[in-house]
Amino acid sequence: MTPPPSPAALPSTPPAPVPLLALYRVFFVLGLFSFGGGVSAWMHREVVQMRGWMTDEAFISGFALAQILPGVNSANLAVYIGQHLRGAVGAVVTVVGMLTGPFVVVIVAAVAYHRLVGLPGFAAATAGVAAVAVGMLLRLGLTLARRVPRRPAAYAAMLVTFVAVGVLKWPLVPVVFVVAPISIALAWPRPPRGAGNA
């Protein structure tokens, strides 16, 4: 009589798919309350830290892809997250959810813009919101930097990109086309030395 398989040998049940309504609700709130940018940082907090729908590694892959693809970075990242969680339907749901709230708010704000500009403290409030967005992006950058492999080449690629775009004001697209292939080649996994002689 054969012994029953150990619990470790049994196949693990796949996690339940994220409900589409939950996806829409999360991204509706993200789009409605992410003032002044910093949406990617909010996405990381809600999707990875708060709900555990994705791992840091999967989010970093999507975040990097969203930065280099044409279009709005936050929309690209929303498409990636939705597709990762629920396929093509999830991608549509996340984008629609993220744009529903801002669509209504922008229409209302456009109508009332001239009155809002005249309010005392309006400019200071918008500057404060922008500062919060920069702080959130900085926190996200530090969080993702901890996940970068401890390789000199990775930090060299980050430093070169920062200096070229942020300090020297070179155009982003040529810098990415030059630095990205070099960075990928240096980070590409290689077999251990001597493995081919075994």
Distance separating alpha carbons of residues 46 and 160, to the nearest angstrom: 31
3-state secondary structure of 132: helix
Pull the structure tokens for residue 29.
């709130």
Q: Which residue has the higher pLDDT, 190 or 194?
A: 190
Examine residue 12 and state whether it is found in any structural domain, yes or no.
no
Decide: helix, strand or coil at residue 16: coil
Assess whether 62 and 142 both reside in one domain.
yes
Cα 23 to chain centroid distance, Å, stands at 15
Whether residue 109 sits in one domain with residue 76: yes
Model pLDDT, residue 5: 52
The answer to whether position 121 is within a domain reads yes
Residue 116: inside a domain: yes
Say if residue 81 is in the same domain as residue 34.
Answer: yes
Q: What is the pLDDT of residue 51?
A: 94
pLDDT at residue 72 greater than cutoff 70: yes
Q: What is the pLDDT confidence band of residue 36, given thresholds at 50, 70 and 90? A: low
Residue 36 near residue 129 (C-beta atoms within 8 A): yes
Q: What integer pLDDT is reported at residue 13 of this predicted model?
A: 58
The stretches of 17-121 forming alpha helices (DSSP H) are 20-33, 39-43, 56-68, 73-117
Q: Residues 59, 44: contact at Cβ < 8 Å? A: yes
Q: Assess whether pLDDT exceeds 50 at residue 81.
A: yes
Counting beta carbons within 10 angstroms of the beta carbon of residue 187, is it exposed (0 to 12), middle (13 to 18) or buried (19 or more)? middle
Give just the sign of the alpha carbon dihedral 71, 57, 43, 94. positive
Query: Looking at the domain assignment, is residue 7 inside a domain?
Result: no
Q: Please check whether residues 33 and 87 belong to one and the same domain.
A: yes
pLDDT band at 93 (very low <50, low <70, confident <90, very high): very high
What is the distance between the alpha carbons of residues 40 and 44, in angstroms, rounded to a whole number? Answer: 6
Look at residue 193 and tell me if it is in a domain. Answer: no
Same domain, 140 and 54: yes
Q: Are residues 183 and 141 in the same domain?
A: no
pTM: 0.66
Mean of all residue pLDDT scores within the chain: 82
| pLDDT tens-digit map of 2-31 | 555 555 444 455 578 999 999 999 999 998
The answer to whether position 90 is within a domain reads yes
Return the ∠ at Cα 49 (arms to 88 and 40), rounded to 5°: 60
- pLDDT tens digits for 143-163? 777 766 667 777 788 889 889
Q: Which residue range is the domain that position 41 belongs to?
A: 20-147
User: Would you say residue 195 has pLDDT above 60?
Assistant: no
Domain identity same for 93 and 107: yes
Q: Are residues 71 and 111 in the same domain?
A: yes
Report if residue 11 sits inside a domain: no
**Residue 148 contacts residue 156 (beta carbons within 8 Å):** no
- Name the domain count of the chain: 2
Over residues 99-120, the pLDDT tens digits come to: 998 888 888 878 887 777 777 8
50 and 110 share a domain?
Answer: yes
Same-domain pairing of 168 and 143: no
* Whether residue 139 is found in the same domain as residue 167: no
Share of the chain above pLDDT 90, in %: 30
Structure tokens at 8: 């470790």
35 and 115 both lie in a single domain: yes
**Would you say residue 195 lies in a domain?**
no
